[in-house]
Amino acid sequence: MLLHLPPGFDPARPAPLVILLHGSGGTGAAMLRDSNLAEAADKHGFIVAAPDAGIPHDQGFVWNIPGVPTVAGTIPGPDAPDDVKFIGALIDQLAKAGCADPARVYATGLSGGGRMTSWLGCVAADRFAAIAPVVGLRAGNPLASDPTHPDPATCRPSRPLPVIAFAGDADTTNPIQGGGAKYWSYTMHAAEMRWATLNGCTAAPTTRWVAPKVYEERYTGCRDGADVAGRITVGGGHSWVVDNDALWAFLSQHRR
């Protein structure tokens, strides 16, 4: 695991922590490099932890999302490393050491790391103040009887959780229009709507341009201020299509 501390970090003052999760077959080191999140951390004063997943694959690793096949096509067995437990222990360790403020812990990740970030929101919402999946927003597994919808039984967060997701509309690996691998299936819009339902959002969703070629779909009027936002880059592909300052602006509004 790589840990990036911002300049001037004071061990006597616990800082916000962003857990950065790599894509399938990747590594934490490559994810930290490719996301440029260390530069944003230096600018805004948060810690980045970039761990490796528990299951080796090719030259890197894949995350264990129970019941969901990895990119190798196999479902992790009962003896596979428990990545939810591992990430929880990582948070505990950094909080106990006085580095991280446990009320300001966030998760983000790319592709398979975005799906893992979504899964953490489903099963460990009490550990995070907000999440930000990138080209990988999910709200549980696809429904067996109708894969165009998420299965409500597979994502039951313990509390409302703010979500901002990033994607490109030209992504052919995890298409925002749905399809792709079996664990993808339903649309990004369906995932947003499910999170809005889970968070008790009551206002009609809005769509606005936030930057050239970037529009945002947002659900507000949510319990505990847990907005759901999806930012889509027109022409963007399967990559880190993120304005890191906008990412941090959203995450930093929230405390657990």
pTM summary value: 0.97
Report yes or no on 141 lying in a domain: yes
What is the span of the domain harbouring residue 44? Answer: 2-251
Task: Give the model confidence (pLDDT) of 13-70 as tens digits.
Answer: 999 999 999 999 999 999 999 999 999 999 999 999 999 999 999 899 999 998 888 8
Sheet containing strand 163-168, strands side by side: 2-4, 47-50, 15-21, 100-110, 130-134, 163-168, 228-233, 214-219, 206-211
Residue corresponding to tokens 């050491």: 97
Q: How many domains does the chain have?
A: 1
Asked if 191 and 137 touch (Cβ cutoff 8 Å), the reply is: yes
Report yes or no on 256 lying in a domain: no
Among candidate residues 170, 174, 171, the one with its CA nearest the CA of residue 116: 174
pLDDT band at 174 (very low <50, low <70, confident <90, very high): very high
Report yes or no on 178 lying in a domain: yes
Instruction: Give the C-alpha separation, 243 to 239, whole Å.
Output: 12
pLDDT band at 11 (very low <50, low <70, confident <90, very high): confident
Residue 189: which CATH number? 3.40.50.1820
Mean per-residue pLDDT of the chain? 96
Among candidate residues 136, 158, 134, the one with its CA nearest the CA of residue 226: 158
